[in-house]
């Protein structure tokens, strides 16, 4: 089965632990229903998320995210066809540590939107390896 992998970034609106927990609970419920997997890197200044699954399910989920008032400036970074999932056992893996490697100044300057999609995907590949360990 060919999968779609979509990566986007956005700015959190009103970020706190309760909001992040709400996003994760909702994402895990909806993703289990829609056979989606993925990961969310979350900090007070940025969300970067990889969604993977059937193209129509990924598109529907991304459409909901684009109008979710917990996100500002939702920007798609890449969308590719993939033969295997990076996060096959995670309806939504979360990483609240600064593993995305971007400083607050880099985020203010437009990262990860000004990076090549392959560089952003490499962050998720490292996260997937860490999850498997």
Domain boundaries, the chain: 3-132
Q: What is the DSSP string of 68-133?
A: -TTEEEEEEEEEEEESS-S-TT-SSEEE-SSTT---HHHHHTTTTTTS-HHHHHHHHHHHHHHHH-
Please state the pTM of the whole predicted model.
0.88
* Across 12-16, 74-78, 99-103, 119-123, least confident range: 99-103
Locus of tokens 């979710």: 68
| Per-residue confidence band for 133, with pLDDT thresholds at 50, 70 and 90 | low
> In DSSP terms, which residues pair with 99 in a beta bridge?
none
Q: What is the pLDDT of residues 20-36, one digit of tens each?
A: 888 999 999 999 999 99
Q: Which CATH architecture has domain 3-132?
A: 2-Layer Sandwich (3.30)
The three-point CA angle 65-126-71 to 5° equals 15
Q: What is the pLDDT of residues 51-105, one digit of tens each?
A: 999 999 999 999 999 999 999 999 999 999 999 999 999 988 887 655 556 777 8
What are the residues whose beta carbons fall under 8 Å from the beta carbon of 117, sequence distance 6 or more?
Answer: 7, 77, 78, 80
Q: What is the pLDDT of residues 42-53, one digit of tens each?
A: 888 889 999 999
């Amino acid at each position: 089965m060919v999968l779609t992998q979509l990566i986007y970034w956005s700015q959190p609106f009103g970020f706190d632990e309760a909001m992040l927990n709400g996003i994760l609970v909702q994402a895990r419920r909806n993703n289990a229903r829609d056979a989606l997997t993925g990961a969310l890197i979350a900090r007070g200044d940025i969300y970067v998320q990889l969604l993977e699954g059937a193209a129509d399910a990924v598109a529907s989920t991304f459409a909901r995210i684009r109008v979710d008032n917990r996100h500002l400036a939702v920007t798609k970074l890449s969308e590719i066809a993939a033969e295997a999932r990076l996060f096959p056992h995670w309806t939504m893996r979360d990483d609240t540590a600064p593993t995305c490697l971007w400083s607050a100044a880099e985020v203010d300057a437009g990262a990860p939107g000004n990076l090549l999609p392959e560089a952003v995907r490499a962050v998720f590949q490292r996260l997937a390896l860490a999850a498997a360990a």
